[in-house]
């Protein structure tokens, strides 16, 4: 247990699963898995200063840090972890 707010296993429309969502001091970390190849738009409530990812198959296609948005290309059953710093 990290002592930080965390959510595990949330199923969303479009065959997307939030495997883990963790809030950090400076932002958040989320791991997503898709049941099919698809592109999704992620919108956050404020501007982002930095985004990092872990995965070789799924990836961020476009990001607009000032607007807090990013388009992510999810590959079927290829989890991606995204770390956002505000």
Per-residue pLDDT, 55: 72
Contact criterion met (CB below 8 Å) for 32 and 18: yes
CA distance 41 to 62: 9
Q: How many helices (H) and strands (E) does the chain have?
A: 0, 8
Q: Quote the pTM value.
A: 0.88
Contact criterion met (CB below 8 Å) for 38 and 74: yes
Per-residue pLDDT, 4: 77
Q: How do the pLDDT tens digits run along the chain, 86 residues long? A: 456 788 899 999 999 999 999 999 999 999 999 999 999 999 999 999 999 998 778 999 999 999 999 999 999 999 999 999 99
CA–centroid distance for 3 within its chain: 21
Per-residue pLDDT, 3: 65
Of 82, 4, 85, 86, nearest in space to 41 by CA: 82
Q: Which two tokens stand for residue 16?
A: 């997307």
């Amino acid at each position: 247990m990290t002592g930080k707010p965390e959510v595990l296993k949330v199923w969303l429309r479009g065959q997307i699963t939030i495997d883990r969502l963790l809030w950090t001091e400076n932002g958040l970390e989320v791991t997503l898995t898709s049941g099919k190849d698809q592109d999704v738009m992620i919108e956050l409530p404020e501007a982002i200063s930095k985004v990092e990812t872990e995965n070789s198959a799924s990836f961020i296609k476009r990001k607009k840090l000032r607007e807090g948005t990013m388009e992510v290309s999810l590959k079927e059953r290829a989890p991606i972890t995204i770390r956002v710093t505000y």
